[in-house]
A and B are shown apart, each in its own frame.
Chain A
Amino acid sequence: MAVYSQKAFKNLCSIASTMRGAPKIPIVILVMVFMTAIFAPLIAPHSPTVGSLPDRMMPPFWAKGGSLNYPMGTDALGRDMLSRVIVGTRISLSIALLAVFFAGSIGTIVGLVSGYFGGPIDVFLMRMVDIALSIPLILLAIILAAALGVSFTNIIVVIVLLLWPYYARQVRGETLSIKERDFVLLARVANCSHTRIIWRHILPNVVPSLLVLATLQAAFVILVESSLSFLGVGIPPPAPAWGLMVGEGRVYLATALWLSFWPGLAIFLTVLSMNLFGDWLRDRLDPKLRQI
């Protein structure tokens, strides 16, 4: 038991030393965003979906007519903006995590198989990736969202369809070079099965760049999801999705700026922190990996 706890302590120390030099402000923001997402219902002072009509369209607390009861103001239905932004964190983050997880898994499997086996499988799979990358997928996303109906699950399906080719291409490229390395050749000489070689010898070497890609993609997913919600083909109302809130507040832009300002700021800060953290991670783990 003692051995295990010592090991765990060592692991913790190594993680801590890896994190040295990480950008502090983005990490603080990200931790806050994650905490907010986890404890959203406990933190939110009001209901995000039920408003009180007498209190509708109240400005933030510092403006004339504002109240500390609603620090960020209220929307056209008297719902508390702060509570909506807080609960919205949960929606954006869970979509980002799930979409990146599924797209990453599919893409990694395709990339590993394609790169490792080569030949006709590789040609076929990479042709599919080429096609998927060249199709303007936002069109497809809008139509699929309309076809499947707008819901939490459907938006994830649509975004997974959009993302997997990036992982496939990245993983394939790395697999191609890793599989020529000596330790893989040795594993083959030692009569390891293909599954074992892929799982135990190649995959662990692809993980660093997968982590980088996943962090940066999570930021991208939040942008795509909020765009789709803004257009009305993402998360359906009355859920407090950030993109949807900006879209709803758009009509009142000149008179009630706070309606679209806060959720937009939340998107911006979250995405910015993820991008900064991802950049740092990339420089740290894989300086060769380029990103747009």
Chain B
Amino acid sequence: MQRYLFGRFLQALFSLFVLLTIVFFAARLTGDPVALLVGEMATREQVEKLRAYYGLDKPMHVQYMLYLSHLARGDLGRSIVTSRRVTTLVVQRLGASLELLAAALLLSLTVGLVTGVYCAVNRGNRFDLLGRIFAVIGQSLPVFWLGLILMLVFAVWLRLLPTCGRGGLSHLILPAVTLACGLSAGILRLTRSSMLDILSTEYIKLARIKGLSELIVIWKHAVKNGLIPVVTYFAVLLANLVAGAIVTETVFAWPGFGQLIMQAVIHRDFPLIQGIVLFVGSFVLLANVLVDILYTFLDPRIRYN
């Protein structure tokens, strides 16, 4: 088990390294940030001086080695546009993004799992039909369009909730619902189909014959195995969630990573781009490792040797 986890961790580190390397070189293909920074009136010397200041005059591989050596010491550099430390900029946005992600995740897990189980148990009745309609619609709605429509209805027409920005709970509702919609639909479908398989197995029949209450049969015996596919797909779900978060943040002007990375890409702010990718990448990869650990608890048949 320990050996497996160690290997899994190393693999995650390697993935992160690949990601950072691709981003490092891809970002530099976008062009010269200094040209955007100084404008048309700058003299040649001024441009050269600035390029030297940011280390952009060195050959690409030297820049890369320097980047890695700084990174190993925990130094992410300074933003080219604002000259502030990348770490400070990213940490400022971390709270907002995590708040949105956590709210959406909580909402979609609750709605998706409970409705999914309920649909499977009541297979074929009206509730099941409604659940399935919700699932297929939820998966087909473009996040940005759903966000705009919700904003129009609840903020502009009904004036119940604020349109955008971050504040109290009322600010969180619209973006979280927007982001959670697609994810809960996905979780609902997965849970429903795996629960349908489980409910027809012998051990569930046995549990019922033993006279256990329906509540215990479903929520204790069946759900434990029914959750496994959800956990399996969690990595993919999480990647989709991060993608949706970037779009949702743009729609609702939510001050998180999404906005920051769009600005950084437009201004070719290399250190900032790399910093954000490092944070978001580590978050997703770490979550994947945690999911693998969770796996062994859910399903004792899976033992990593």
A residues within 8 Å of B by Cβ?
127, 130-131, 133-140, 142-144, 146-148, 219, 223-224, 226-227, 230-233, 243, 246-247, 250, 253-254, 257, 260-261, 264, 267-268, 271-272, 275-276, 279, 290-292
Query: Can you report 23 A-B residue pairs in the complex whose CB atoms are below 8 A from each other?
Result: A133-B235, A143-B26, A146-B30, A147-B26, A223-B143, A224-B243, A226-B144, A227-B243, A230-B142, A231-B247, A243-B144, A246-B144, A246-B148, A250-B148, A254-B156, A260-B145, A264-B142, A264-B148, A271-B140, A290-B190, A290-B194, A290-B229, A291-B189
Please provide the chain B residues from 193 to 213 with a CB less than 8 Å away from any CB of chain A in the complex: 193-194
Interface on chain A toward B: helix, strand, loop, or mixed SS? Answer: helix
Interface pair A275/B139, CB less than 8 Å apart: yes
Interface pair B261/A247, CB less than 8 Å apart: no
- Hey, which chain B residues are within 8 Å of A227, CB to CB? 142-144, 243, 247
Using CB atoms, name the residue of chain B closest to A131: B15
Using CB atoms, name the residue of chain B closest to A264: B145
Using CB atoms, name the residue of chain B closest to A265: B145
Using CB atoms, name the residue of chain B closest to A26: B136
Instruction: Tell me the smallest distance from the CB of A278 to a CB of chain B, in Å.
Output: 10
Identify which of B18, B22, B156, B280 contacts A136 (C-beta below 8 A).
B280
B250 within 8 A of A: yes
B residues within 8 Å of A by Cβ?
11-12, 14-15, 18-19, 22-23, 26-30, 136-137, 139-145, 148-149, 151-152, 156, 186, 189-190, 193-194, 229, 233, 235-237, 239, 242-243, 246-247, 250-251, 261-262, 265-266, 268, 273, 276-277, 280-281, 284-285, 288
Interface pair B12/A134, CB less than 8 Å apart: yes
Interface on chain B toward A: helix, strand, loop, or mixed SS? Answer: helix
- A250-B266 Cα distance, complex, nearest whole Å: 19
- Hey, which chain B residues are within 8 Å of A272, CB to CB? 136-137, 140
Instruction: Tell me the smallest distance from the CB of B76 to a CB of chain A, in Å.
Output: 16
Using CB atoms, name the residue of chain A closest to B265: A146
- A250-B252 Cα distance, complex, nearest whole Å: 11
Q: Assuming the A-B contacts A231-B262, A290-B193, are A131 and B239 also in contact, with contact meaning beta carbons closer than 8 angstroms in the complex?
A: no
Other than the known A139-B23, A231-B247, A292-B190, what 16 A-B pairs have Cβ atoms closer than 8 Å? A131-B18, A133-B235, A133-B236, A134-B239, A135-B15, A136-B284, A137-B239, A139-B246, A139-B277, A219-B140, A224-B243, A246-B148, A253-B151, A268-B142, A290-B194, A290-B229
Interface pair A136/B239, CB less than 8 Å apart: yes
**Residue of A233, A276, A291 contacting most chain B CB atoms (<10 Å):** A291
Interface pair B140/A138, CB less than 8 Å apart: no
Q: Assuming the A-B contacts A136-B243, A142-B261, A272-B137, are A247 and B144 also in contact, with contact meaning beta carbons closer than 8 angstroms in the complex?
A: yes
Instruction: Tell me the smallest distance from the CB of B152 to a CB of chain A, in Å.
Output: 6
- Hey, which chain B residues are within 8 Å of A140, CB to CB? 19, 22-23, 26
**Residue of B28, B139, B140, B236 contacting most chain A CB atoms (<10 Å):** B140
- A206-B237 Cα distance, complex, nearest whole Å: 25
- A43-B162 Cα distance, complex, nearest whole Å: 41
**Residue of B156, B194, B239 contacting most chain A CB atoms (<10 Å):** B239
Identify which of B30, B235, B262, B284 contacts A147 (C-beta below 8 A).
B30
- A261-B148 Cα distance, complex, nearest whole Å: 9
Q: Assuming the A-B contacts A264-B142, A272-B136, are A233 and B265 also in contact, with contact meaning beta carbons closer than 8 angstroms in the complex?
A: yes
- A270-B66 Cα distance, complex, nearest whole Å: 48
- A133-B276 Cα distance, complex, nearest whole Å: 19
- Hey, which chain A residues are within 8 Å of B18, CB to CB? 131, 135
- A144-B237 Cα distance, complex, nearest whole Å: 22
Interface pair B156/A134, CB less than 8 Å apart: no
Identify which of B23, B136, B247, B277 contacts A230 (C-beta below 8 A).
B247
- Hey, which chain B residues are within 8 Å of A233, CB to CB? 265
Instruction: Tell me the smallest distance from the CB of A82 to a CB of chain B, in Å.
Output: 18
- Hey, which chain B residues are within 8 Å of A279, CB to CB? 136
- A24-B116 Cα distance, complex, nearest whole Å: 26
Interface pair B273/A143, CB less than 8 Å apart: yes
Interface pair B156/A253, CB less than 8 Å apart: yes
Identify which of A133, A146, A231, A253 contacts B148 (C-beta below 8 A).
A253
**Residue of B11, B14, B142 contacting most chain A CB atoms (<10 Å):** B142
- A144-B261 Cα distance, complex, nearest whole Å: 13
Instruction: Tell me the smallest distance from the CB of A255 to a CB of chain B, in Å.
Output: 10
Interface pair A139/B156, CB less than 8 Å apart: no
**Which 5 pairs from chain A and chain B are nearest by CB?**
A264-B145, A138-B243, A272-B140, A147-B29, A271-B140
Interface pair B23/A143, CB less than 8 Å apart: yes
Identify which of B140, B148, B268 contacts A268 (C-beta below 8 A).
B140
Using CB atoms, name the residue of chain A closest to B243: A138
Interface pair B246/A143, CB less than 8 Å apart: no
- Hey, which chain B residues are within 8 Å of A143, CB to CB? 23, 26-27, 30, 265, 273, 277
- Hey, which chain B residues are within 8 Å of A133, CB to CB? 235-236, 239
- A151-B118 Cα distance, complex, nearest whole Å: 46
